[in-house]
Amino acid sequence: MSMVYDSEYPVPMPPIIWDNMGFWEGIKRHELVFQRCKECGTWLHPPRPVCPKCRSLEKEWARSTGKGTVYSWVTYLESAHPSFKAPYSVVLVEMEEGVRLVSNMVDISPQEISIGMPVEVVFDDIAEGLTLPKFRKAG
């Protein structure tokens, strides 16, 4: 089971601003990228103008392995927005790089999700101009 959308209601578009643009450009190319500090190598997510560890302004968009584990998850039994049909689950994935990302799972029922489950990224082209990084259970 994956997220089911109601075609009558557009999915809320992610507000894209200068600080997070690189992330969404990567997703459009089907690449999961995170900010990485050029000075100290710290991986950053959500993206920020300054590295909170070394305060450098120099950062790059670096490719993630796309692999991680479920750190926590919830199941919406009442939808929070008409474009998403309940029930649906939202996961917090801890990536191999150490950063965490809010997302959805594909091809799995909410009952099968568990903390610590290994997952890998997939790209879901859900609407014209909107691709989302989602996760499936890894082998």
- Give me the residues that bind another protein (CB under 8 A), please: 3, 11-17, 19-20, 45-46, 52, 71-81, 83-84, 88, 90, 92, 99-104, 110, 115, 130, 132
Specify the residue for token string 């965490």. Answer: 100
Burial class (CB in 10 A: 0-12, 13-18, 19+), 36: buried
Between 33 and 139, whose beta carbon lies closer to another protein?
A: 33
Least Å from the CB of residue 38 to another protein? 20
Length of the chain: 139
Least Å from the CB of residue 87 to another protein? 8
Phi, psi of 44 (to 5 degrees): -125, 130
CA separation for the pair 111, 63 (Å, rounded): 31
Least Å from the CB of residue 47 to another protein? 8
Side chain identity, residue 80:
A
Between 16 and 40, whose beta carbon lies closer to another protein?
A: 16
Least Å from the CB of residue 60 to another protein? 19
Helix (H, G, I), strand (E, B) or coil at 62: strand
Between 128 and 139, whose beta carbon lies closer to another protein?
A: 128
Between 59 and 139, whose beta carbon lies closer to another protein?
A: 59
Burial class (CB in 10 A: 0-12, 13-18, 19+), 89: buried
